């Protein structure tokens, strides 16, 4: 009989799509750090020109970045993290329209997993209306996209961010294991 397996703590990050980042990030980042702890690193901010999906609601131009948090995170809380970020999106909305889209995810030794409130056939239900999807798999020393991986998660800025984040995570994880 197989026994339940509890994964190591993971590295939490959020992917942000934001309108007017110079104005709105100053409202978003403190709220995220109050819930998830100290912000560890931010990716470069790049134009979000991969799709126009969000423009009608949020405006244009939109900008993309990823943010990681210093403390390791309980993988089992990913759905809770998404519910929290949804509440931040709603709180910061102007006239019923979001100024930021916040998608939390986790990085493990083997993959990058993104939380979503949207159903799709490749997503696994976590509970509370939240699903999870593997965006990138770590294979042969690098992260590789899957057929459904979003275009922005395939770009060089994202792949570089997650590669650097994995190196930090490996170091943290080894330190956590040594303390056990």
Q: Is 49 a domain residue?
A: yes
Total number of domains constituting the chain: 1
Residue range 50-83, pLDDT digits in tens: 999 999 999 999 999 999 999 999 999 999 999 9
pTM to 2 decimals? 0.94
- Looking at residue 179, its pLDDT comes to 62
Q: Mean pLDDT per 10-residue run, the chain (180 residues)?
A: 91 98 96 98 97 96 98 97 98 96 98 96 96 98 97 98 98 76
Q: Is 180 a domain residue?
A: no
- Looking at residue 176, its pLDDT comes to 73
Q: Is 1 a domain residue?
A: no
- Looking at residue 84, its pLDDT comes to 98
Q: Is 3 a domain residue?
A: no
C-alpha 88/C-alpha 28 separation (Å) is 8
Domain of residue 129 covers 10-175
Q: Is 4 a domain residue?
A: no
Domain containing residue 161: CATH number? 3.30.70
- Looking at residue 26, its pLDDT comes to 96
- Looking at residue 127, its pLDDT comes to 96
């Amino acid at each position: 009989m197989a026994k339940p397996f509890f994964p190591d703590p993971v590295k939490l990050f959020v992917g942000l799509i934001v309108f007017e980042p110079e104005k709105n990030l100053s409202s978003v980042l403190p709220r995220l750090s109050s819930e998830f702890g100290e912000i560890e690193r931010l990716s470069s901010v790049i134009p979000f020109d991969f799709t126009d999906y969000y423009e009608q609601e949020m405006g244009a131009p939109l900008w993309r970045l990823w943010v990681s948090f210093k403390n390791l995170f309980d993988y089992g809380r990913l759905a809770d993290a998404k519910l929290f970020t949804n509440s931040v999106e709603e709180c910061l909305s102007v006239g019923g329209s979001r100024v930021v889209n916040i998608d939390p995810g986790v990085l493990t030794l083997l993959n990058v997993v993104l939380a979503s409130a949207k159903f799709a056939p490749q997503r696994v239900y976590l509970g509370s209306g939240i699903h999870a999807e593997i965006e990138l798999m770590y294979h042969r020393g690098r992260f590789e996209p899957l057929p459904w991986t979003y275009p922005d998660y395939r770009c060089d800025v994202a792949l570089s961010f997650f590669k650097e984040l994995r190196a930090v995570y490996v170091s943290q994880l080894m330190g956590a294991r040594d303390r056990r």
